[in-house]
Structures are given as structure tokens and as C-alpha cells.
Amino acid sequence: MSELKEGLDELRAAVREFLAAKSPESAVRATMETQPRYDPAVWQQMAQQLRLPGLALPDDYGGDGFGLTELGVVLEEMGAALLCAPFFSTVVLAAQALLASGDEAACARYLPPIAAGQSIATLAASEGNASWDPAMVSARAERSADGSGWAVTGTKSFVIDGAIADLVLVVARSTAGPALFAVHRGAPGLRAAPMTTLDLTRSMAVLTFDQAPAVLIGAEGQAGRLMSRVLDVACVALAAEQAGGARRCLELSAGYARTRYQFGRPIGSFQAVKHKCADMLVRVELAEATAREAARLADEGAAEFPVAAATAHICCSQAYLFAAMETIQVHGGIGFTWEHPAHLYFRRAKSSELLFGGPAVYHERLLDRLGI
Amino acid sequence: MTDDIPEFAREARGFLDAHARRAAGPGQFRWGVGDDSVAYFSADPPDVEEQKLRAARDWQRTRYENGFGWISGPAEFGGRGLTPVHELIYDSVEAGYDVPDTGTLSVVGLGMIGPTILAHGQQAIKDRYLPAMYRGDVVACQLFSEPEAGSDLASLQTRAVLADGEWVLEGQKVWTSVAQHSQLGMALCRTDPDAPKHKGITAFLVDMSAPGVEVRPLRQMTGGADFNEVFLTGVRVPDDHRLGEVNGGWRVALTTLMNERATVGSEGSGPVAAALTPARLSALMRATWTWDDRALRRDLSQLLTGIMATSHLNARAFRRMQAGAAPGPEMSVAKLMYAQNLTRAAHFVSSLLGPRIIADTGEWGTYAWAELLLATPALRILGGTEEIMKNILAERVLGLPKEPGIDTTSPFRDLPRSGGAQ
């Protein structure tokens, strides 16, 4: 236990140091206003120096075989730093979809380049209605004329890093139901249009498929079960990012409340401000606990994992949004300026809350995982 | 220090197998079957309460005689000389057995006053009281709060004056749990009103059967009386019953309070915890035909999220302490959340029940919730009000500055009082 803890502390320190050097606020701001919205040099260093993309991928596919617990530490730090990089899309969404498909040939083909940082990948699931429910998928997949492959037709929206992905895993419907397909960048019939996003640090795109050649991943009709698993894992990964971001908001607020003077005293000595900070602390502690506990249960293969994942998703979504909102209020006027980072966290918090459907969906998802 | 834990846990199981029955476990919940009580405070009549206290004392004596009465206490006073981690381990093993609830003895007396006597009492006092307390013979209570000293405990007014080598106590204490069962009380008294408030307090052990000690039940808003008022009128206390230095009582009180924060908020069992499970709450939704009400389903999810998040927080804190780490802010967070979860639960259930919680129809599992509903306001007050808990978190964890004031530097005598009286 304590050995593991020390290992996690070392990992955290290494990632934090790396991000402080490579992704300070100035770099985040520069990157978020350019296309593509990530720094390829930093992405390469992340892979080569820290081996982060492969951290939680199996050894057989070029990874280091760690679990969601270790990946969670990395994501907490990335969330705190607002790193602009295709990490969540590639390492969480796409890689987890491949693993959940159980398709060993596809994993052997696509995961090693992901682990090595050579391939950016994403999962295109939701469409114009923003739903992650496989029953709502209308994109179609048909066998190609010569019978050797598939062709996908349809439109996917809110695809994270969709404009820069080398590999797009797309959920499309064949006669057997929804299934997962791989489409390569540059495939004929695939067009990507970047979307204007509330969160400037996470890019999204609309992808249009017009008879785009595709490879079936796993079995036909299998995407329902697969998406449920991917969503559980993605919710926990997102929860780690959210907990990290919320913790950073708390640190910004408490730091400001200690040093900002009004009425001749630090504003943090006023209970009205002090209690806002305490409320943030309460929520941040709970958020971290749920995110880390869910990751631990995932790594143990525990039956409680889906419930814990849904709990962490709600708890961390609410905690982050609360912390980001209160951070602006604790800072007052300066917190509403473009130059202050508070709005970057607010944007990320709101966008993360709604990424997988938000309150309209996540409450019923928890009750569903509980069998209620 | 904790390498022997597996062996210790085995020994605890051996002891419990020999002296108690394994608990049946929660089993499958079925609507309308079993006890429907959701009382946070005890709702027992006096004779039942007496009977439960006797069982608690007997069980504590059995623990003591088998080396589990005071696991982290020194052997010199009947303890086992192990660590608080061993205590946690024992508690988690014992939770799997059907044994009498020893809360009346343990929450205040053994949990808070015992460690205080150990840290600040004179040798003869430790010899006299500690083994007797942990053997289950002596119940102890905490004579701290007063009508004019709630959150601001250090502004207490009960006087203690030295006369002929003995202290004479005069004043009133309030919200005293288990005073009606106690043989011993730990009282904080003002011994120097000319000093600043924290520097003029002395702590004493009071014989609750001494002349001048009067215990009156205090009826709380649920209708029951779980607390007491204790009037001290010319009560004489020998000087060897003083804890710590004269005017050094605040430091002594901090020892006691540090142990309190560790006990409140860790409540994972009992009738309330049993009632707040997903199975029980969803059965209640079915029974009240609110099953498909979208707004109430969302409330249920929000409620369960808070309950499960708190239990994840507790589970992680427990594992960290098992691994030897110092407790972080989790206990204070858990305490705040416990109050929030139970309050939210009581009002959620009220929405399901509708009029069935404003008048008793006799139906199983409905009006019984009124007990919890009426108890929940207390949870945001007892063991440190919400406001004080938030100050503590903000000041100790986040390093925010204290509110500036004159109350810690002026002589206590000169501080303004409620109602303007001096």
C-alpha cells in the first residue's frame, strides 16, 4: 500500500514538473488560439520522456500495463494545468474503445502506435443530438461492393480532436445494430470541420462520412455493450481531470483570499469568503475520493465499478463547476477578466459537465447502474 | 508498529467467536418487514434504556477482561499498549458481530475523557479512574457547553474558587450527553476572570454524586430527552481531581475535543444508515407510487451521490490510517457531509410520503421517518456547528487568516455578553 502510494507520488511529481515546464498558463493560452490546438513537440516529449500515452495500456500492445489509478494521477495533473493535448481522446476514449471491443487484431494494429505517441485517435459516438446512447446512432455502415470491407455514411458531432485524429473510431449502424468501425484520416469521403467550442482548451469537430472506407472492430451489433463500458471508464478518467481542475481552482482561490486586502485585512479572514473556500474544499475532497475510489474499483475488476463510475461523474462534475464558479466570485472583478485564468477553468468545468450528456442524463445513468 | 495486524485481527475474531454471535447481515430488504425505526436519537423508555446500559457495561467488561477494552491504552492502566490502528481494526472486525451498543460508555467517556485523563491527570487519579472506566464500571460525561458558551466554548462562566484546599464549583452546564448515567464528569471552569478567556480556565474531574450536582433532562425538539442540563451549586472538588495546570484548562480541553472530531461523522451503521440504502429508498418510491416521477428520481440520485461519495471518502481515510498516515481533513468533511446527507434524506423522504409524514396512518415505514426529520437540525449543530467546522477547515487546511478580534487578548471580565450583562 505505502509502496504503491510512493510510486503514485513520484508519478505525480514527475507529471507536475513536466507540465509546469511545458504547459504553463502562457503556453495554454498560446496553444488554445492556434490550429492544431496542441503542441506536437510537447506531445512527443510526453510520450518519449514520460511514456504517458502507454502508461495504462497492456504490455502486449506496447504499454506499461498500469491501471486507471495511475492514469488518474496523470489526468488530475493535466486537468489542473488545462493541458491542450489529444490525450483524453486518444488514450482514454479511443484506446479504451479498442480494449473494450476485445478485438485482438485491432488492438495489435492500433494500440502500439498510440502507446508510442505516434498516433492520435478519437471516438466518434454522438451525433447532432449529442447523445451517447447507441440506440440513437443513425450513421450507417454497409459492406463495400466488393465485400472486402465496410463503408460508413453519416455525421458525427462533438468529436474531441476529430480534426487532428489519425484514427477515428466511429459508431455506426449495420443491419445487426450499432458497431465500432475504424476510419483513417485522409480516407475518401471523410471531412472534418472544427467546431467553435466553449472550452478553448479542448477542440471538437464535426465529422462527415460519405461512403468512407472502414474496418469493423469487434463484432457487428456489439457497440451497445462496448459503449456502456467505455462510458464508465471515460467518466472516471474525466472525473480525475475534473478533480484536478477543481483542486487547482481551490488553490487559486485560497491563495488570493490569503493575500488580497480590503477593509484593511485579508479577504480570507471574512467568514463569507472563508466559507466559500471551505465549501470548495469539501467538494474537492469528495471529488478526489470518488474519482480515485472508482479508479481503484476498476483496477480490481470490482462489481461495484459501474456505480462508482456514475457516482464519480456526478460528484466531480458538480464539484468542478462549483469550484470554478466560486473562484470567479472570490477573485471579484479580476476574476472576470480575459487575462485571469478563472474563465478557462469555468469553460472547462461547464464543458466537462455536459460532455457525456450532463444532469439530464447522468442522474438516470446512476440509477440505471444501481438497478433502480 | 502495525506489522502484527493480521495476527491481531485473527485474535480479535477468535475472541468474538467465543463471546458473540456473528451478525446476520443486512440481507435482502423487504418492504413492511422488520423494524421500521429511523431514529437518530434514542426513543427508548427509561427501563429499556437501563437494560441496554447494563448490557453495554457487561460487554465492555468482557472486552476488558480479554484484552480488547482499551486497545491503544497503556498496560499500566489496563490497556493493551497497541496503536489507534489496532483499535480501528478491532472495530471493523467487531462490526461483523451482533454485540451490545456501548456508545453510552465509549463515545464520550472512553473516547474523549479517558485519553484526557491519561494525558493530564495525576498518577493517583489515573490509577483510580482509568481501569474502572475501561472495565465498564464508571461512565463519564463532558461538562463543557453552557447556555452562554456554545460555539465560543472558551467564554464559559462556571466559576471554580479555591477554598480551604478544595475547589468550589458554581454554574450551569448544558447539552450534556449521558450525564444521567455518569459517575464522573469532566468540567471546564473559569478560575481567573482577569485573564484573557483562554488563559483563565481550569479542568476538573467531578464526582457526579457529590452534593450540589443536579442533573435535569433536557427535552429536545424530537420530544425525547437525550441530553441534560447539569447544575453545579457549591460542588466541592479536591485539588488532586484537577486536570493539568491551574488556568491551563484550555490545553486540556483541546485534548478532549481532538478526540471528539474523530468520532462524529464516522457513523456507518445503526438504523439511520440501514434506512438510507438504495434498496430501501427505491422500495419507498415504489410503495408511494412516486417511482417514475422524474424530479424525485433526480433528487434520489443527488442524495445517493452524496451518501456514496461520503462513504468513499471514509473508506479512503480508513485505508490511509491503516497504512499509518496521519488523518487529513476527511473527518471534518465527513461530519459536514453526514449532516447534509441526512438532512437531504429526511426532506427527500418527506416528499415521497407527502401527508403520511404529517399524520400517522399506521402504515409501516411511513410516519417512522418523522423521528429522523425532527433530528436532522441537530446534526448541523452538535460536535461543532457547520460555521465553526468551516472556519476550522478554512483556517487549518487552507491557511486562511482568523477573524481579527479583541476577544482573545482582553481580560475575560471585560468582554461584552449577550443581553449586555457584565
**Segment B302-310 mean pLDDT:** 97
| Active-site annotation holder among B260, B330, B363, B386 | B260
Q: Which of B299, B316, B398 to mutate to test the interface with A (most CBs of A within 10 A)?
A: B398
Residues from chain B contacting residue A293 (CB–CB below 8 Å): 312, 315-316
Find the residue in B nearest to A365 (Cα): B301
Span B197-236, pLDDT tens digits = 999 999 999 999 999 999 999 999 999 999 999 999 999 9
Predicted pLDDT at A2:
42
Span A353-371, pLDDT tens digits = 999 999 999 999 999 999 9
Find the residue in B nearest to A250 (Cα): B398
Predicted pLDDT at A368:
95
Residue B260 has pLDDT above 80, yes or no: no
Residues from chain A contacting residue B282 (CB–CB below 8 Å): 370, 372
Whole-number percent of chain B with pLDDT over 90: 76
In B400-419, the residues whose Cβ lies within 8 Å of chain A are 400-404
Predicted pLDDT at B261:
53
Please tell me if residue B286 touches chain A, with a CB cutoff of 8 Å: no
Active site residue B260: yes
Please tell me if residue B220 touches chain A, with a CB cutoff of 8 Å: no
> From the list A268, A277, A311, which residue is nearest B308 (CB)?
A311
| B316/A292 Cβ within 8 A | yes
Predicted pLDDT at A261:
97
Residue B265 has pLDDT above 50, yes or no: no
CB A278 within 8 A of CB B391: yes
Predicted pLDDT at A145:
79
Q: Which of B291, B304, B335, B395 to mutate to test the interface with A (most CBs of A within 10 A)?
A: B304
Span B366-398, pLDDT tens digits = 999 999 999 999 999 998 899 999 999 999 999
Residue B417 has pLDDT above 60, yes or no: yes
Residue B271 has pLDDT above 80, yes or no: no
DSSP 8-state symbol, B146: B
Predicted pLDDT at A104:
97
Is the model more confident about B191 or about B32?
A: B191
Predicted pLDDT at B258:
82
DSSP 8-state symbol, B111: I
pLDDT level of residue A31 (50, 70, 90 thresholds): very high
Predicted pLDDT at B386:
96
Span A283-324, pLDDT tens digits = 999 999 999 999 999 999 999 999 999 999 999 999 999 999
| B312/A290 Cβ within 8 A | yes
Residue A4 has pLDDT above 80, yes or no: no
Please tell me if residue A285 touches chain B, with a CB cutoff of 8 Å: yes
Predicted pLDDT at B264:
41
**Segment A48-70 mean pLDDT:** 97
The minimum CA-CA distance between A126 and chain B, rounded to whole Å, is 23
Mean residue pLDDT of chain B comes to 92
Span A189-246, pLDDT tens digits = 999 999 999 999 999 999 999 999 999 999 999 999 999 999 999 999 999 999 999 9
| B282/A372 Cβ within 8 A | yes
| B310/A286 Cβ within 8 A | yes
| A285/B329 Cβ within 8 A | yes
Residue B150 has φ and ψ, to the nearest 5°, of -100, -95
CB B165 within 8 A of CB B203: no
Query: What ipTM goes with this model?
Result: 0.95
Please tell me if residue A372 touches chain B, with a CB cutoff of 8 Å: yes
Predicted pLDDT at A22:
97
Predicted pLDDT at B1:
54
Predicted pLDDT at B324:
76
Q: Give the predicted TM-score (pTM) of the model.
A: 0.94
Residue A175 has pLDDT above 70, yes or no: yes
Residue A168 has pLDDT above 60, yes or no: yes
Smallest Cα–Cα separation from A284: which of A238, A330, A233, A322? A322
